[in-house]
Amino acid sequence: MAAAALKRLWLRSRGDPGDTTAAKPGAWTRLGAWARALFRDYAEACRDAAAAARAGPGRAAVYVGLLGGAAACCALAPSEAAFEEALLDASGTLLLLAPTTRNRDSEAYVQRLLWLRGRGRLRHVNLGLCSLVYEAPYDAQASLYQARCRYLQPRWAEFPDRILDVGFVGRWWVLGARMRDCDINDDEFLHLPAHLRVVWPHQLRSEANERLFYEKYQPVVLTDDQVDQALWEEQVLQKEKKDKLALSQADSLVQSESPR
């Protein structure tokens, strides 16, 4: 029995002379078969997706819109070079303004970003749909023990507090919001009443403002009483000026005669 089993194994390894089956296919043949099977699978999946889209066009449109929006967000996620350009542009905008007209919050935010940039502590990360710029405790090339020890690194729970800006659809939103009113210094309006320190958008385009704007170009019409009042006030002012002049001349004469 052992001899018969060995003979069958030997014949199977060499191939039976009377067997008419094809030989084992080569590597390129197997690769072609795998590619054809893969193509059939993808073609069948596309046919199923087309059938599902015809069955529910609304849902298919929502899915296509979401995929297209995600692809656009990934393509428009700003890079680190874009943040450098936006930061330098904001710094140049502030330099063109007088120090008394700069917004204190805008200037402090830009100065902090420039300070961190000069020390190599700004980090940029691309999350696909958006980008983040956050603060690092040390420079990336620092060789200090505190910078290299993984047990002394900031915790993930502290990461939201270290985020400085968020980049989405081609712009940096925090920097843009801080630079929106960069030429308005709120300290200049502290002497005004509280209701005059803030002007809302609906107040800028109100009917009262439009009426006052056109009325300032109209000639001023005074009544007889108003004219008489103005003349009397002018006479009073002239008399006060003459009295002050006479008093000053008298004082000068007295001071000149006092040494004699």
Report pLDDT for 10: 57
Report pLDDT for 259: 59
Report pLDDT for 214: 83
Return the structure tokens found at 190. Answer: 């502290």
The label of the residue with tokens 């450098």 reads 84
Q: Are 97 and 166 in contact (CB under 8 A)?
A: no
- Long-range contacts, stretch 88-94, CB < 8 angstroms, 24+ apart: 90/175, 90/179, 90/182, 93/179, 93/182, 94/182
Phi, psi of 128 (to 5 degrees): 95, -75
171 by DSSP, 3-state: which? strand
Residue 95's Cβ-side half-sphere holds a number of Cα atoms within 13 Å equal to 7
Return the structure tokens found at 161. Answer: 């507090």
Confidence (pTM): 0.58
Report pLDDT for 128: 86
Report pLDDT for 18: 46
Report pLDDT for 17: 47
For the segment 172-216, what is each residue's pLDDT rounded down to a tens digit? 999 999 998 888 888 888 887 877 777 777 766 677 777 877 888
Rounded-to-integer distance, Cα 117 and Cα 175, Å: 15
* Contact residues for 253 (Cβ-Cβ < 8 A; gap 6+): none
Report pLDDT for 187: 84
Other C-beta atoms lying within 10 Å of the C-beta of residue 127: 13
pLDDT digit of tens for each residue in the chain (260 aa)? 445 554 555 555 554 444 444 556 777 888 888 888 888 888 888 888 788 778 877 877 888 888 888 888 888 889 889 999 999 999 999 999 988 889 999 999 999 999 999 888 999 999 888 999 999 988 888 888 888 888 888 888 888 889 999 999 888 999 999 998 888 888 888 887 877 777 777 766 677 777 877 888 888 788 888 889 989 999 999 999 888 888 888 777 777 776 55
For the segment 213-243, what is each residue's pLDDT rounded down to a tens digit? 788 888 878 888 888 998 999 999 999 988 8
First to last CA, the chain: 159
- For 39, 92, 124, 134, 194, the CA distances from 107, given in Å and listed in that order, are 59, 11, 22, 19, 24
Q: Are 88 and 69 in contact (CB under 8 A)?
A: no
Rounded-to-integer distance, Cα 24 and Cα 18, Å: 16
Strands 131-135 and 122-126: antiparallel
Rounded-to-integer distance, Cα 239 and Cα 234, Å: 9
Report pLDDT for 8: 58
Report pLDDT for 232: 93
Strands 163-168 and 131-135: antiparallel
17 by DSSP, 3-state: which? coil
Other C-beta atoms lying within 10 Å of the C-beta of residue 109: 20
